[in-house]
Amino acid sequence: MTGYLSVSNAVHGVNDKATIVAVSKFHPYEAVMDAYNEGARIFGENRVQEMREKFPPKGERPEGMKVFLIGQLQRNKVRKAIEWADRIESVDSLPLIEKIENECISLGSDIDILLEFNSSGEENKSGFRTEEELLDASEHIKNCPHIHLLGIMTVGPLGGDEEKNRIAFSRTRELYLTLKDRNPSVSVLSMGMSGDWQTALEYGSDEVRIGTAIFGERK
């Protein structure tokens, strides 16, 4: 592992409450297994195809190993995503929600999801653009029995500006608390990456998604 944060520090030292998603995109399965052997259990991948090529199917993975999809999901890849991922953290539109429910029905399976919030307002970021849109989507999910809504995911602003991070994380936390009020099953606030996870934890994040700090730079 070439990152500066050892897996055991990441898994046991970030804090007692937060879950670590070790983001293994662009890194080979050998790196995944190195991290697994040091204690990492949950991995994050951005693309459906890379996830399916790298990880064994559900049920054939080493004990406790899970894979979360964290990158933008195209509608034509939903079926393939549901088959492989233990959770989809990047759900960002109503049509995508409808497609997920329909594919779950056809596959006879359920899926855990997070709704992604564009907390920085950056144009090129995915995620729901307003609080209202995300909350509307969460109401719609109440009619989708195969989709289990667990919470919210956000990617902080580009550039690592501390003040901007705080504004984005604080806004996401407010939205999370509103969502939780309306949905008792909601319990996951996923925010914080290699450059900003300490700040995210201050705003109540209970899941950080860390790639570079564990695996080193991506090629």
Ligand X SMILES: *Cc1c(COP(=O)(O)O)cnc(C)c1O
**Nearest distance in Å: CB 97, ligand X:** 19
**Nearest distance in Å: CB 23, ligand X:** 4
Is position 209 an interface residue for ligand X (rule: CB under 6 A)?
Answer: yes
Contacting ligand X (CB under 6 A), which of 32, 70, 175, 200?
Answer: 70
CA distances from 119 to 104, 168, 172 (A): 29, 5, 6
Choose between 144 and 155: whose C-beta lies nearer to ligand X: 155
Is position 211 an interface residue for ligand X (rule: CB under 6 A)?
Answer: yes
Is position 193 an interface residue for ligand X (rule: CB under 6 A)?
Answer: yes
**Nearest distance in Å: CB 84, ligand X:** 17
Contacting ligand X (CB under 6 A), which of 7, 27, 71, 189?
Answer: 71
Alpha helices (H) in 71-211, listed in sequence order: 78-84, 94-107, 131-141, 162-182, 197-202
Is position 155 an interface residue for ligand X (rule: CB under 6 A)?
Answer: yes
How far apart CA 82 and CA 41 sit, in angstroms, is 19
- Return the range that interacts with ligand X (CB under 6 A); candidates 7-15, 102-110, 134-142, 211-219: 211-219
Is position 46 an interface residue for ligand X (rule: CB under 6 A)?
Answer: yes
Is position 212 an interface residue for ligand X (rule: CB under 6 A)?
Answer: yes
Which pair of structure tokens corresponds to residue 102? 């329909």
The phi and psi torsions of 59 (rounded to 5 degrees) equal 90, -15
Do 169 and 205 contact (CB within 8 A), yes or no? yes
- Return the range that interacts with ligand X (CB under 6 A); candidates 33-41, 102-110, 157-165, 188-196: 188-196
How far apart CA 182 and CA 160 sit, in angstroms, is 32
Is position 6 an interface residue for ligand X (rule: CB under 6 A)?
Answer: no
CA distances from 184 to 56, 142, 149, 191 (A): 33, 12, 10, 20
